[in-house]
Amino acid sequence: MSSATSTRRRAPRLRTATAVALAGVVLAGCGSAASGASPAPAAATSTDATTSAAPAATGPAGEAVVAVAVTDAGGCVATPDTVPAGAVTFNVTNVDAVGVSEVELLSDQRIRGERENLAPGFDATFTATLDGGSYELYCPGASTDRTPFTVTGEAAVSSGDTAALLQQATVDYADYIDSQVGFLTEAVAALQTAIDAGDLTAAQNAYAAARPYYERIEPVAESFGDLDPAIDLRIGDVGDPAAWTGFHPIEQLLFEGGTTVGAEKLAATLVTDIGELQSRTAELSANTRADAADGDRYLVDEVANGAVALLGEVQASKITGEEEFYSKIDLLDFQANVEGSLQAFAALKPALNEIDPALVTDVGTRFDTLLALLDTHRDPAAVGGFTLYDDLTDAQITELSNALSTVIEPLSVVPSKIATA
Amino acid sequence: MTSEHGTPTPAAGPEPTGCPVGHPAGGGGTAGGASDPRRASRRRFLGGAALTAAGAAAGVAASTALRGPSPVATAAPLTLADLDALRAQATVPFYGEHQAGITTAQQDRLMFASFDLVTGDPVAVAHLLGTWAAMAARFTAGQPVRSGDVRPEQPPPDTGEASDLGPYSLTVTVGFGPGMFDERFGLAAKMPAALRPLDQLPGDSVLRPEISGGDLCVQACADDPQVVFHAIRNFARAARGVATMRWSQLGFGRASSTGAGQSTPRNLFGFKDGTNNIHADDTAATAAHVWVDASTDQPWMVGGSYLVARKIRMEIQSWDAAPLADQERTFGRVKTTGAPLSGGTEFTPLDLAAVAGTGSGPAIDVAAHARLASPEENGGVRMLRRGYNYTDGQDSRTGLLDAGLFFICFQRDAHEQFSVVQTRLGSSDLMNEYVAHVSSALFAVPPGLTGPGDWYGKALFDL
């Protein structure tokens, strides 16, 4: 794998903003700072058909099955609510909860498995391999939206072994990337369908639905120096406008041009490129889970730097309203970058808790504050679900920027903490 | 114009037909049947619906009084407040073999809405139908969109205008237009033959396409106008990005009776209309004429029905200038009592062979509305009518009242039932001088929902 920085064709302006962070996202060819211990893999694996990149769960025999009923009256109820460690399949049914459309399995802010598109009357399934500990089932929008869930038995990674915890962080991050790329694959397929059908409203909504999955994994996507420019370049960064591909020329047609005509080929190319992204991330994940000595894999320092890089992305292009120039859905990208950063940080948390627990608390609190501020800008009526960028006041932009800086400051310490652990 | 409890027009005849408040004992203790319309005036409050949450002592007493054979003899006299509280809390069961709002005793208010699907994704459509089903189950039980806390930084999930009201016997009925089965959603093979568009009928030349048709319809009926508006408004809100409202209609003062226990209401011409309507308790008639059975080409429609909506503008000022004799000749009935011009009382069968007292021609004109609409004149065809009066105010161009009948009917096959009757009416009815059909729509109404988790058309989508 070549160095990402040497092949990146993103405009210098952006590269300057993120170069330092991205240097850590380079996918090294071999070796691992955390390869000393080789704990049993504990993969959170989506069984969603489209996330075929994820390998089968490798838990002990006798997979546990948990029924999760989502009702308006009872919230999000798991039966049983305690299972032994290992592979666990969650069969989720939204019985009648109008406000609920997704469910997540959380472990200390970390998403261990999730499914979206869960309307009343519909079912969904996901599987995760879980260590002993306390979890939460989170059904946003339910009358009772958080339900405790307990896994008993030995944790696969013994606490206190920082190196092992750091290795586990890369596996957990790989799982997260795989789930997001899986959802992204579905979302761009829906975008292509809407464009091919000539349905402008559906295409605009599908565009907004797809963006967050890409924005959450941006540091990883950017590490593929040929793919990222094909997928996410803006017009100002393209030498030859005729060679402009990816999300943003589609955005221009849909939102500025007010048409789907001419976007068909672009959508097909995007689907192909995302497919390539999925196969490459799947390979990275497989190598990471195997703790392979050979082949590209996620490294713990790139996870840490990625968390910072994502917030750098926000500072560089979302808070300025540049990223979504035509659709004005910059706050949606903003929120997705923050979520992606939070998930990278959360993957590191078990190790960071050994290294510097006060830092974990500090960063976690500041993330909460930032996410709460973003929530105040939600607008269900707007495409993408957030106030359009042009409707923000200068004071609101400043407030968001300040809240962002508040997180970046302590988060930027994390890579060095890990490097010296 | 209309009292909260009453009929749309002040009683035009000597009999109180719609306002039980002033005549709580009007029905007396006679067993009564289809031929005793007065029995209805007392029972109308309950609308044939189950009462819920009548836990308060007053409520229980009122319930007993309303249901008992001799209301006069029971304990405490009811106040208007007692009665309205009962009426507000009345609910119609949501789950069942058939959707409610078809044979349900007709409520006083309607809001009807037609939607166009704006997505190409069948899963998005299915999710909307699942969401609508869950919302309908809640609204008809008097609950808001979602229980639980509302976060201050987000818009409330429920719009709130029905928060302090009761369910008021709300029913929500959802139907699918032909557009559900076009090339967009891969459902073409599931299109029922009976859902093919209606042929142009005599008198259809002034139909307005922008208020006709649609891919989905929602009929909300209740005994309170704000309750039906709330239901439609929140359905439209939930549909954002998937479907947009194409047209809608508010209705008042039910213009049909759907139960032997309901009085025959009056339309805006001042006549009792629909005396011979199919009644819900006549299960033989509903089985034969209303519900789709196993003989259908589409098994997912078994237990469903087909809805026709027609907005019929009435030329009220012209009508008001017509002599009473002409008005009665047009209907074939006596204006005050609703009795056929061939004699008897309201529920006396039409004697189509009777000769006028003058000996000059039939008692019921060959082109009278009641004759042309009768099963005898249409090969036995019947349908369940469930129309409402409407007004959209005043036509700003002509200065005339813009008002009429929002006609809704349910049947097994509109081509064999509605079209047959309307073809006859459209070509010959004396009333055509005073009405114009300005909108038309046909929808397949799928069967009822089995319980929480079921949704409209689940068997159709096969997801």
Span A155-169, pLDDT tens digits:
655 556 888 899 889
Chain A CB contacts of B458 below 8 Å = 121
Q: What part of B 223-242 touches A (C-beta under 8 Å)?
A: 238, 240-241
Residue type, B399: G
Indicate the residue of A143, A193, A381 with minimum beta-carbon distance to B240.
A381
Give the strand pairing for A82-84 and A146-152: parallel
Least confident span in A48-62, A275-289, B277-291, B399-413: A48-62
Could you tell me how far CA B204 lies from the centroid of its own chain? 22
Q: What is the C-alpha separation between A350 and A238, in angstroms, rounded? A: 41
Question: Which of B143, B153, B233 is best to mutate for the A interface (most A CBs within 10 A)?
Answer: B153
Cα B414 to Cα B436: distance, rounded to the nearest angstrom: 20
Q: What are the structure tokens assigned to B83, written together?
A: 């009665």
* pLDDT confidence of residue A160: 62
Helix (H), strand (E) at residue A389: none
Chain A residue with the nearest C-alpha to that of B456:
A121
Pairing state between β A64-71 and A86-94: parallel
* Nearest residue, CB atoms, B131 vs list A119, A144, A190: A119
Which amino acid, one-letter code, is at B129?
Answer: L
* For residue B12, pLDDT beyond 70: no
Specify the 3-state DSSP secondary structure of B347. coil
In this predicted structure, the answer to whether residue B360 has a pLDDT above a threshold of 60 is yes
Q: What amino acid is encoded at A294 in this protein?
A: D
In the block, which residue shows the tokens 């706050």? Answer: A331
φ/ψ of A367, rounded to 5, equals -60, -45
Indicate the helix (H) or strand (E) that contains A104: strand A103-107
CA B257 centroid distance within chain: 9
Residue type, B224: D
- Residue matched to tokens 């709002």: B101
Over chain B, what is the mean pLDDT?
84
Residue in B closest to A195 by C-alpha: B120
- Among residues A114, A54, A71, A118, the alpha carbon closest in space to that of A90 is found at A114
Interface touch B452/A71, C-beta < 8 Å: yes
Top pLDDT among B71 and B185 is at: B185
B135 touches chain A (CB under 8 A): yes
- Cβ–Cβ gap A194/B454 under 8 Å: no
**A:B CB pairs within 8 Å:** 98
Q: How far is CA B421 from CA A55, A218, A391, B202, B400, in A?
A: 64, 65, 56, 11, 29
What pLDDT sits at residue A152? 93
Query: Pseudo-torsion of CA A247, A250, A256, A258, nearest 10°?
Result: -140
Measure in Å the smallest separation between the Cα of B68 and chain A Cα atoms. 35
Q: B138 at the A interface (CB within 8 A)?
A: yes
Cis status, amide bond into A80, omega within 30 of 0: yes
pLDDT class of B356 with cuts at 50, 70, 90 = confident
Which residue in A has a C-alpha nearest to residue B135's C-alpha? A98
| Interface list for B 151-190 with A (CB within 8 A) | 151, 153-155, 157, 184
Cβ pair A194:B120 closer than 8 A:
yes
ipTM over 0.85? The verdict is no
Q: Which of A127, A113, A118 is nearest to A96 (CA)?
A: A118
Which of A68, A93, A96, A139 to probe the B interface (max B CBs under 10 A)? A96
**What single-letter DSSP state applies at residue B37?**
T
- The minimum CA-CA distance between B300 and chain A, rounded to whole Å, is 17
Under 8 Å between Cβ of B43 and B28: no
Confidence tier at B67 by pLDDT (50, 70, 90): very low
Average pLDDT over residues B396-411: 94
Q: Is B137 on the interface with A (CB under 8 A)?
A: yes
In this prediction, residue B263 has a pLDDT band, given cuts at 50, 70 and 90, of confident
Closest CA to B27 of B263, B223, B256, B257: B263
Q: How much is the pLDDT for B75?
A: 66
- The pLDDT tens digits along chain A (421 residues) read 333 333 333 333 222 233 333 333 333 333 333 333 333 333 333 333 333 333 333 334 467 999 999 998 888 999 999 999 888 999 999 999 998 988 999 988 888 888 888 999 999 888 888 888 999 999 988 888 889 999 998 765 555 688 889 988 999 999 999 999 999 999 999 999 999 999 999 999 999 999 999 999 988 988 888 899 999 998 888 878 888 999 999 999 999 999 999 999 999 999 999 999 999 999 999 999 887 766 788 988 889 988 888 888 888 888 888 889 999 999 999 999 999 999 999 999 999 998 999 999 999 999 999 999 999 999 878 889 999 999 999 999 999 999 998 999 899 889 888 877 7
DSSP string covering B259-285: STTS---B-TTS-B--TT---TT-HHH
* Strongest mean pLDDT among A110-114, A260-264, B36-40, B344-348: A260-264
Distance of alpha carbon B160 from alpha carbon B162, whole angstroms = 5
Q: Is B238 helix (H, G, I), strand (E, B) or coil?
A: helix
Contact B401, B320 (CB under 8 A): no
Q: How far apart are CA A330 and CA A161, in angstroms?
A: 41
Amino acid at B178: P
Q: How far apart are CA A302 and CA A296, in angstroms?
A: 12
- The rounded distance, in Å, linking the Cα atoms of A143 and A96 is 11
CA angle B248, B253, B257 (to 5 degrees): 105
d(CA A346, CA A236): 34
Query: What are the two backbone dihedrals, phi and then psi, of residue A6, each rounded to the nearest 5 degrees?
Result: -80, -20
A396 to chain B nearest CA, in Å? 14
Measured between CB atoms, does A119 come within 8 Å of chain B?
A: yes
Measure in Å the smallest separation between the Cα of B392 and chain A Cα atoms: 29
Query: pLDDT exceeding 90 applies to what percent of chain B?
Result: 64
**Cα(B94)–Cα(B49) distance, integer angstroms:** 11
User: What is the C-alpha separation between B101 and B139, in angstroms, rounded?
Assistant: 14
Peptide bond into B155 cis (omega under 30): no
**pLDDT value for A154:** 75
Overall average pLDDT of the B43-55 stretch: 39
Say which of B128, B238, B452 has its CB closest to residue A96. Answer: B452
pLDDT > 80? residue B61: no
Q: Which residue has tokens 């798991």?
A: A78
Cα–Cα distances in angstroms (integers) from residue A254 to residues A36, A274, A334, in the given order = 51, 20, 21
Nearest CA in chain A to B455: A121
Nearest CB to A121; choose among B118, B133, B240:
B133
Work out the widest C-alpha separation in chain B, in whole angstroms. Answer: 78
SS3 B48: coil
Residue B13: other Cβ atoms inside 10 A: 15
> Given this model, what pLDDT does residue A346 score?
93
